[in-house]
Chain A
């Protein structure tokens, strides 16, 4: 399985976020998308799963299921955790495993994998930021999909949870999946290649200190 992008560009709000981005990821590989805030890391991931329109360039997946789109074969872990505060931890995960389909592990096993099994009955409203993150990571474990698109997966996780996620990612790679991760820090996986955004797209000006908007126009 192999995902390749050539000369990809993305526009948001009439402004170019990135352009001329090309990369290839194949089974067993991790591509870390790095770059300063606003370089378009999140936008790149959202473009890959079709949540943003491709302004230019193309995206091809070889070796996947030809009847499904990239988004339908991918797990997308965004900034937001996609959890409902009034549902319990187990109910939240049950919903996503039911909705995403093709269960790989039952809910209890997936919760155990992220260390939340003792909180299964607790409403998600009472979870801390790191626990919420772990609950949404449990989704990756519970439903098998070979493409993982992770947006800052390590943020808010403590050291133990980061190790655990590293373990999940290594197991995923060993099973022939691949990972595209927007990140600022190390992912804890040796064979990580890096795609630096912000230097490829020449149109991306560095935020000037004089403009109060430029630094926060699009948080990555």
Chain B
């Protein structure tokens, strides 16, 4: 174990040069689909177009506000850019049964998975929900944002368009 610690201390010295913003890939984690079967996050795919990954929970008001706001424009976003939103619920077994009812009642057209024991949340280093990641067409994580305030969805979409145009994104 000492080796691992040493390994990390060495890595920490230049962590910024190889941090996620420079093109980290998605970790491989098993997630639950709404039909109870499992899928691996490594299978996330949008035919070379960008993917938005949004961490949320049924008890998280700002998360649902964000997903509601995007839902109003999602059809247009998809038509214009082909972007796909994958919503990852971090609800544990207390409320994971409510994910499917929330999604259907809200009429969201997203791809939804349940991260019941928060393994994906931990692997993606998410502190709190909502946390949104933007993945480019090659599967690199190019941007992320914590929390939601009104109008953030417009900035997110600006960034989606920048990714498609191959431009650099700033926070």
A and B held together in a complex: no
Interface residues of B (CB under 8 A from A): none
Interface residues of A (CB under 8 A from B): none
